[in-house]
Chain A
Amino acid sequence: MKYASKRWFIIFVVPTFAAFAIAFLIPFLSGLYLSFCEFRTVSDAKFVGLKNYLSAFSDNGDFLNALWFTVKFSFAAVIVINVIAFLLAVLLTRGIRGTNLFRTVFFMPNLIGGIVLGYIWQLIINGVLYNYGYSITSSATFGYWGLVILSSWQMIGYMMIIYIAGIQNIPTAILEAARVDGASPFRTLRSIVIPSVMPSITICLFLTITNSFKLFDQNLALTAGAPSKQTQMLALDIYNTFYGRVGYEGVGQAKAVVFFVLVAIVALLQLYLTRRREVEN
């Protein structure tokens, strides 16, 4: 097509590009550079090489603790969310009465924001623990399971919708054939349903893994890292490094770069592994 011109480029692309550059591109590149600098306000940046990265790992155990806590949390959350969401999707695609109402209920928590979710669950969990003389900040174990329960409650509905769409895409002819051949419901699930919904599984794993790794609001509202930073996840640790102590902005930025690289590696690795299974099946 020949009707492209500078004038149209300015109207169609420049506004979005300008916003994208200011909100993302320039901050990303300067963030990358600043992770090798010491600074307080950006304009006073002084190049210090890898010092920030070394500090991030060696100053105190916070970053590694947060990393370990994040990994542990993501592992449990991803399994719980996907297993329950998949089972609910299977039950909701059987044409049972009330399916729409159930779906509405399961999805609803997903629309509530992380901060509000955190305080809702703080009330519930503290209410239960109060009977035993504890609160959610008494032990990191409570905070850990609290976060797993909270994010399951939030994410199950979303993943369930994706699994339902996947299951509904399976041609009924195949399911009929399996039934005629005398396949048990379990066998049908294992040999037909699960292989057919591999693309949905890929997407759900991607979304749950990246969301669990990046969790911030829920973490801040539910425990804010208590007791003594033991339930602090990576995003919250980075936030506290930036805004909690003056002079550590460079370290915070270095942690953020490491965090970005980690999220990117985990996400791409997962996509690569599950996409490969899709092709095989």
Chain B
Amino acid sequence: MKRIKISNILSFIVLLFSSVVFLVPIVTVVVNSFKDKFSISQEPFVLPNSNTFVGIENYISGINDTDFLSAFFWSLFITVCSVAVIIIFTAMTAWYITRFKTRFNKTLYYLFVFSMIVPFQMVMFTMSKMANVLGLDNPIGLIFIYLGFGAGLSVFIFSGFVKSIPKSLEEASIIDGCNVFETFWRVVFPILKPTAITVAILNTMWVWNDYLLPYLVIGSDYKTIPIAVQYLKGGYGSVDMGAMMAMLVLAIVPVVIFYLSCQKYIIKGVAAGAVKG
């Protein structure tokens, strides 16, 4: 008994030490966001003192330089709409092509799976040109493009789950006079809900943080948060470290709030998504 206790205490110490190491970078950025921009890069690990403390000055200049509020709005708008569109359409597609195994549907399924392995650089140039030609280089068009890119993983995860749903439920609903559309939304989708949460979590994490795709498609007219952060670096010769720190904090805060409020689903979603993937 005693040996187990000692080893548990040791494990606890190791875990405690590791968590501190994991938290240091975030805490450092938060602390530095309140410091005078000239004292940041030289001594990032020193707490602000009466000389270097600048209050929320960095936040004001950061928000003004990058138009953060509009970036936040576009990030939120694009993420929420893309994820909703992805869930609605890929769930329907996954169910349909899993249930009706025509040659076209089977091929389509393999194409979706195939697309998951292709790196973005392979299609980035031709895709952004195409978005341009078709007039998809605006936030609404971007949502459509996200549906196309998200389809691979999402259809794959949904399909894996659809296979485990007994067909008899759907057949009963058809006999009772529902059409295919009603059957899907009233009978099948409620069963798919846990999977839909997984798909939503995985896609939210991807779309919210995505940089290159929105940058290439809408970057010249609309900025999302990652584009705004990168813009701060690229726009001038020297970086305003104060504004940069404030922007990093503002970029992290929504993520942490999202994480802490849906932690249970996120952890479950990640584990479930990985097992399917």
Interface residues of A (CB under 8 A from B): 1, 3-5, 8-9, 11-13, 15-17, 19-28, 30-31, 34, 41-42, 88, 91-92, 94, 96-98, 101-116, 119-121, 123-124, 126-127, 130, 153, 158, 161-162, 164-165, 185, 199, 203-204, 207, 210, 213-214, 216-217, 220-221, 234-235, 238-239, 242, 249, 252-253, 256-257, 259-260, 263-264, 267
Contact = CB atoms under 8 A, between A and B. Distances in A.
B112 interface: yes
Interface in B97-147: 97, 99-100, 105, 108, 111-112, 115, 117-127, 129-131, 134, 136, 144-147
A94 B241 CA distance: 43
Nearest to B259: A111
A161 B43 contact: no
B122 A158 contact: no
A123 B46 CA distance: 13
B40 interface: yes
Contacts of B274: 161-162, 165, 203-204, 207
10 contacts: A4-B99, A13-B96, A16-B93, A34-B125, A113-B251, A114-B226, A116-B209, A164-B271, A207-B277, A253-B126
Contact of A13 (B15, B105, B225, B226): B105
Nearest to A88: B18
B258 interface: yes
Contact of A249 (B7, B18, B105, B125): B125
A263 B16 CA distance: 37
A56 to B, nearest CB: 13
Interface of B: 7-8, 11-12, 14-16, 18-19, 22-26, 28-29, 32, 40-45, 89-90, 92-93, 95-97, 99-100, 105, 108, 111-112, 115, 117-127, 129-131, 134, 136, 144-149, 151-152, 155, 167, 170-171, 174, 179-181, 184, 205, 208-212, 225-226, 229-230, 233, 241, 244-245, 248, 251-252, 255-256, 258-260, 263, 266-267, 270-271, 274-275, 277
Given A94-B8, A120-B25, A203 B174 contact: no
Contacts of B28: 120, 123-124, 127
A220 B215 CA distance: 13
Contacts of A20: 111-112, 115, 147-148, 151-152
Contact of A112 (B145, B252, B277): B252
Contacts, number: 286
A40 to B, nearest CB: 10
B11 A94 contact: yes
A172 to B, nearest CB: 16
Given A8-B96, A23-B145, 5 more contacts: A16-B151, A22-B131, A106-B18, A109-B25, A220-B230
Given A31-B126, A41-B129, A259-B119, A1 B99 contact: yes
B104 to A, nearest CB: 9
Contacts of A165: 271, 274-275
A24 B125 contact: no
A107 B264 CA distance: 12
A210 B115 CA distance: 14
A104 B18 CA distance: 12
A26 B130 CA distance: 9
Given A27-B127, A42-B129, A91-B14, A108 B259 contact: yes
B118 A28 contact: yes
Contacts of B44: 123-124, 126-127
Nearest to A8: B180
Nearest to A210: B117
A123 B12 contact: no
Residue among A8, A11, A112 facing the most chain B CB atoms (10 A cut-off):
A112
Contact of B205 (A3, A5, A111, A153): A111
A216 B119 CA distance: 11
A4 B123 CA distance: 33
A213 B121 CA distance: 12
Contacts of A121: 25
A159 to B, nearest CB: 9
B96 A22 contact: no
